Every structure is written in C-alpha cells, then in structure tokens.
Structure 1
Amino acid sequence: MDLCLKLGLLLVIYTAVNASDISVYIPQIAQKITTNVTDRSFVLVQPNCIFTQYPTTNVWVVVALNKSFSTISDSALSTPIPYSSYRNGLYNYYHTLLVSAGKYPCLPSDSTSNKVIQIGSETCKGNQFCNGVLSNNQTYRAKFILLNSSGIFDTTKWSNEIILQQGKSFQGNTGLPSGRSGGMIVLTSILSVLMAFLLLSVIAALIFGGRDLCWKRTMLNQKHSDRNMDFMPRSTYRSRYDNMYLVS
C-alpha cells in the first residue's frame, strides 16, 4: 500500500512538474544559427521535451505583433487565426505550424539545440494557415499553445521581443519590383525606348544603304559594258548588229 501511494505521489509530482514546464517555458531565438533573424523571418529553438505528457495534443505556434500581444487573451487563442487574416489586417496575430505534441520529443542534450523552427519561410499559395513571410517594419513575439476539442489546453509564455533586420521594406501590393524605386523604373523605361529607336535606325540604314549599294553596282556594271563596246573591233560590232536586224 505504501508502495502504491508512493508511485501515485511520484506520478502526480511528475505531471505537475511537466505541466509547470509548459507554463514557464519561454520560446528562444536559435543562437547557433547564423541567420536566426532576417528582414523576413526568425528562427526559434524547438520546444523539445516540453509537451511529452500530451503526445497527441495539437500544438500551434502563435505569432503576434509586439505592440498588441499583451491584449491577446488565452480564450481568443482558442480559435486558430490564419495568416491571411493577419496579412489583411483583420488580426494582430495568427496561428501556424500545426503539429502533434509528439513531434517535439525528448532528445539528447547535444542535438536539442540543432532542432529549430523557422517562422516566415513560406510564400503561402492556397494554404490559409501557412508560415508566411513577416514585415520588417514590425516587431514580433511568439508562443506555443496546446489545443484540444474543448479549446486551449495549455500555453507557454510569450517570447521576448523579436526585432527583424532593417532592410528593404515589405512591398505588399505597391506594384513596384522589390529593391527598385520609381525613379529607377522611369529611367529604365526611357533607356529602353532609346535603345529601340536606335535599333530601328540601324535597321533602316542597312535597308536603304543596301539599296544604294545595289544601284551603284548596277551603274558600274553598265559603264563597264559601255566601255567594252567602245573597244570592240568594228567588224565585230557590225556583225552583232547585223544579227540583231536579221533576227528582228
């Protein structure tokens, strides 16, 4: 009886400790990855060995704008929000990278730091809950949540503020190619028109120049023929013209 009581007590303690691991866990940027933060994405360390007591429960990554994460309640996170709704400005957060908790198993300590999650790595074609690119004029936070059929089951803490590298701003629907200003586009258009005009001029010069060359060659051949007639013996000249009269 004492043994069963001890085993039960150990089980309760183990479950309580693991549960507390989830609630106190803070998502971390992967420090061993060189490009752990770019102007479009960031890389988190996988939360391995954190959800081991719930291997079949769904785990989402929630990405939120830093300016509004503190106003997002756990009950609000119970309904998954697609990236498209966030991108269109309907929400300040979204859910992505849905997996079962068993996908984050316990690993040897020497390999745990090599398992990472990149946030913002997809182009999002046809997938509402995609892992879409981020905008570098915003700062972000992330957390992991467990959802079951009843709603949110457990959640980690929010990460620290994540500041993306400042580079080219997100182009969105501006219609301009990435990395080119309006002045560059106008200059490129003008140069293209000038190149087309120059090409047409060269083609026209070749056409008319070729005609002029043919005309000069014809005139030169005609002069050469007249000269041959002038130096032809008179008897030959007469006989040729006599044959012309006979034929006619």
Structure 2
Amino acid sequence: MGPWRYLIGLCCFLQAPLAGADMPLLANSDFFSLNPTQTTIALEQPICMFKSAVNVYLIGIVAGAPNTPLYDGNKKVNASTYSGTQGGKTGPYIVAKLPNQQCINIQALSNMADPTQVQSILSKYVVRVGADVTCLTNPNFVGYCNAPLQGNTQYSFKYLFTDSGDIVQSETSWSLGITTVNGKASSTIDTWPGRRSGGMIVLTSILSTLMFFVFIAYVIGFAYSIANGSPAKEVSRHDTQTTAVLQKAQEPGEVTYSSALTGSERYAPTQQA
C-alpha cells in the first residue's frame, strides 16, 4: 500500500490545478445539433473534476464586459445576477448553481436509447444556458435567473467549485468565446413564393377568404334546392279521339254506340233509325 498511498496523495495535490486548467465546452453535437441557438447555449457539466466540492457555479459574461472579481478576499462567491449586470453586459453574472456531479452513480450515455431516461441523463451531463424564459417576469421567482441570451452576441463561461458555505475551492479557466445565432429581421424573411410584399400577402388572404364564402354560399343554395325539391313541370296532355264501331250485324231494335271520346266525355247512346 505504500506506493499507492503516495500516488493517491499526488492525485489529490494535482486535482485543483488540473481543474483550473480545464474550461467549459459546448455539449456534444450528436445530442445538440443546433447549438448554440439564438437565445441558448448548451454546455457540458463538469464531472469528476473536483470531488471535494459540493456545488458548482456557472458564471457567464458578454465578450468585452469588465471582468470584475467573482469572489471576495475570503473566496466567498459574490458575483452579480442576470438583472444586476444586464445579462452579462456590465460584468460576470451567475447563470446557475448546480450540485457537483460525482463519478459514482452517473448514468451511462448508452442508456439514451431509452426514451424514459433521456431527460434525466441530459440533466446530469448538460446545462442549457438561457433556458428559463419566465424568471424575469415572475415576481415570485427564487434563485439565479438563467434568462435567454442575446442573439448574435459572444459569451464566455467558467465554473467555480465551492463547498457548502459557497467558499471557492477551485475554478476553471474562461471558455473560448461562443457566439449565439444571429436572428433574421422580419423584413429579410423570404415570403415565398416570389418574395411577395406584405400588401400582396394581405390582398391574397382577403381574396382567398372571399372565395371561400362564395363557395360556402353555393353549397348552401344547392343543398337548399335539393331539400325543398325543384318546381314540378306540368305534364302535357294529348286529347285523343276514339270511334267505336260495332262490326257485327245489327238486329232490329239493337242499339249502336257511336261516339267521339274527347277528354272526359262519356259514351252517349244513339237510337238507330
């Protein structure tokens, strides 16, 4: 056990310098193909970097802003909030306070195939900067505001490892600049087809609506005519004349019926002379 004891001691001695030499990195592009976006940046959480720490503070700052101290002389965290720095424009701010992830009981990324474990696994490995859209408007919000980032703006980040009293034990270097996506102005959006103007789009919408109402009126009229029936045409009648002649030989005193049938006339018997 002698040599192993010295090796363990050396690892503990180098733990803080190794942590400080690291920096926050963008999350794996296999899981976040659109990163960064216009308002968010997904970063990898620090895992097994400083085991004795209890909490991890994620600090953010806009490129070019004054880099004010993150902790006081006693190494207690005193960085400002999102609102106090205008979202990092006037100095570094606390993005989030996270529990320090230990090496034990970490879920394997291979379990991502199980849809029921995806969210819990990602919450262990990734922190999404700018994910909270309500903390600025909710008057009852408690904690550090991880509000949406500004589009087309470069940010840098670092981690502070603290104990339970928020005393800094170690820290990483600032990350390289990460620029959010530049959002398009509404006037530059391609209004397919043919890049129609706003007036043309409104006119087309109105005409389409009118055509719809005309079609509905036609359908209603057609259905009404079927339900009530079409006007019946008067049946043409033809007057016919029929002459009935008794062909057999008449005997004296026998009556012969000779008539012309027109319309609804009845037979009129005639006495033969």
Bin of the TM-score, shorter chain as denominator length: 0.5 to 0.7
Instruction: Please give the alpha-carbon distance, in whole angstroms, between the structure 1 residues aligned to 2:216 and 2:44.
Output: 63
2:158 corresponds in structure 1 to 143
Report which stretch shifted further, 17-26 or 35-44.
35-44
SS of the residue corresponding to residue 26 of structure 1 reads: coil
Aligned pairs (5 A) from 1:1-248: 15-30=12-27, 33=30, 35=33, 37-40=35-38, 41-54=40-53, 57-68=54-65, 70-75=66-71, 78-79=78-79, 81-82=81-82, 85=83, 89=86, 91-92=88-89, 93-101=92-100, 103-105=101-103, 116-120=125-129, 122-125=131-134, 129=144, 131-148=146-163, 151-153=166-168, 154-166=170-182, 168-169=183-184, 187-206=200-219, 217-218=230-231, 221-222=233-234, 224=235, 227-228=236-237, 231=239, 234=262, 236=264
More helix by share: 1
Q: Percent identity?
A: 15
Q: Secondary structure at the match of 2:23?
A: coil
* 1:197 counterpart letter in structure 2: L
Task: Go from structure 1 to structure 2 and tell me whether the alpha carbon gap of 1:183 and 1:138 turns closer, same or farther (over 3 Å shift).
Answer: farther
SS at match of 1:159: coil
Residue 65 of structure 1 and its aligned partner are, at CA, apart by 1.2
Contact 1:145 1:152 in 2 (8 A): no
Task: Specify the code of the residue in structure 2 equivalent to 1:48.
Answer: I
Cα-Cα RMSD: 4.7
Is the CA contact (8 Å cut-off) linking 1:62 and 1:143 kept in structure 2? yes
SS at match of 2:160: strand
Code of the aligned partner of 2:48: C
Q: What SS is found at the alignment partner of 1:99?
A: strand
Determine the C-alpha separation between the residues in 2 that align with 1:210 and 1:150.
79
* Change in 2 beyond 3 A, CA 1:105/1:183: farther
d(CA) in 1 for partners of 2:47 and 2:213? 66
Q: How many angstroms apart in 2 are the aligned matches of 1:104 and 1:185?
A: 56
Cα distance change on mapping 1:194 and 1:71 into 2, 3 Å: same
Please list the CA deviations of residues 146-170 of structure 1 after superposition, one character each: whole Å capped at 9, or x if unmatched. Answer: 345655514322111113344x34x
CA–CA distance in structure 1, aligned partners of residues 203 and 213 of structure 2: 16
How many Å separate the matches in 2 of 1:148 and 1:212?
84
One-letter amino acid of the structure 2 residue matched with residue 89 of structure 1:
Q
In structure 1, stretches of 5+ residues that fail to align are: 239-248
Local SS of the residue matching 2:49: coil
Distance 1:213 1:31 in 2: 66
Contact 2:81 2:145 in 1 (8 A): no
Q: Is the 8 A contact 1:78 1:152 kept in 2?
A: no
Aligned residue pairs total 208
Distance 1:237 1:147 in 2: 121
The two structures have a TM-score, normalised by structure 2, of: 0.54
Q: Give SS of 2:264's match.
A: helix
Which runs of 5 or more residues in structure 2 are unaligned?
110-121, 136-140, 241-260, 267-273
